């Protein structure tokens, strides 16, 4: 991601030229650098950099949304009578993920309520997840794969 390095370099140059080495100034330099990069087609991987950064932002928003929704749901489980719950453990088939992707995915699943990663199979092909409410296992499987895994892969690859 040399474009990112470029961005850092620009922020540094900004700080040097303004002779002000405060963190705030550095952040300003970074933002200005980002804008500069927008108009600098010579930088290699510039396009991917913008795409990734955009996806990161949307991913974060997605994550926060999931987090909030799921927490509300969790709150509901917590205070509602126990017989409303239908917990279960379901195996989610995975693509061929890298270590870091696995960690992020597992963490995301755990952090979003109603789900808890329990077990990653030896061949790294299946992630078993504990659900608070299982109505249709296959639907849950595709939900996880469709939202979390897809968005994660979009971000990282």
Partner 1 sequence: MKDILAGSFFILGGLFSLLAGLGILRMPDSFTRMQAATKAGTLGVGCLILGVAIYFADLGDSTRALLVIGFLFLTAPVAAYIIARAAYHIGVPLWSGTVIDELKDSPDRGIGEDDQIMRGAGGAGAQKASASDHTTPNPEPATGDEPRTPDHDPDDPTDR
Partner 2 sequence: MNSIILQTATRYLLPLLLLFSLFLLWRGHNEPGGGFVGGLVAASAIALQAIAFGPARARQAVRIDLRALIAIGLITALVSGIPALMRGDSYMQAYWMDLGHESIGYIKVGTPLIFDIGVYLTVIGVALLMIITVAEE
The single residue among 18, 58, 98, 121 that binds partner 1, judged by CB under 8 A, is 121
Q: Beta 115-120 vs 126-131: how paired, if at all? A: antiparallel
99 binds partner 2 (CB under 8 A): yes
Shortest separation between residue 126's beta carbon and partner 1, angstroms:
6
| Footprint on residues 75-114 left by partner 1 (CB under 8 A) | 75, 77-79, 82-83, 85-91, 103, 106-114
- Of 29 and 46, the one with the shorter C-beta distance to partner 2 is 29
Burial of residue 108, with CB atoms counted within 10 A of its CB: 0-12 exposed, 13-18 middle, 19 or more buried: buried
Residue matched to tokens 């087609």: 41
100 binds partner 2 (CB under 8 A): yes
Task: Kindly determine how many residues on this chain lie close enough to bind partner 2 according to the rule CB under 8 A.
Answer: 9
Burial of residue 147, with CB atoms counted within 10 A of its CB: 0-12 exposed, 13-18 middle, 19 or more buried: middle
What would you report as the CA-atom Rg of the chain, rounded to the nearest whole angstrom? 21
Pair of tokens at residue 6: 């470029």
153 binds partner 2 (CB under 8 A): no
The single residue among 52, 90, 106, 155 that binds partner 2, judged by CB under 8 A, is 106
16 binds partner 2 (CB under 8 A): no
Residue matched to tokens 């926060």: 64
- 120 CB contacts (<8 Å, ≥6 apart)? 102, 106, 126, 127, 128
Q: Which residues bind partner 2 (CB under 8 A)?
A: 21, 99-100, 102-103, 106, 117, 120, 124
Q: Which residues bind partner 1 (CB under 8 A)?
A: 23-24, 67, 70-71, 74-75, 77-79, 82-83, 85-91, 103, 106-123, 126, 128, 130, 132, 134, 137
């Amino acid at each position: 991601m040399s474009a990112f390095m470029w961005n850092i370099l620009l922020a540094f140059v900004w700080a040097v030229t303004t002779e002000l080495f405060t963190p705030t100034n550095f952040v300003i330099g970074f933002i200005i650098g980002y804008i500069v990069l927008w108009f600098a087609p010579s930088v290699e991987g510039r396009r991917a950099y913008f795409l990734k950064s955009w996806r990161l932002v949307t991913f974060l928003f997605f994550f926060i949304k999931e987090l909030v929704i799921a927490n509300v749901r969790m709150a509901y489980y917590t205070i509602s009578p126990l017989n409303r719950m239908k917990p279960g453990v379901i195996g989610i088939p995975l693509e061929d993920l890298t270590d870091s992707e696995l960690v992020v995915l597992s963490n995301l699943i755990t952090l979003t309520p109603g789900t808890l990663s329990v077990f990653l199979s030896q061949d790294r092909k299946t992630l078993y997840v504990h659900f608070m409410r299982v109505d249709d296992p296959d639907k849950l499987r595709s939900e996880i794969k469709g939202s979390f895994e897809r968005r994660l892969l979009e971000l990282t690859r």
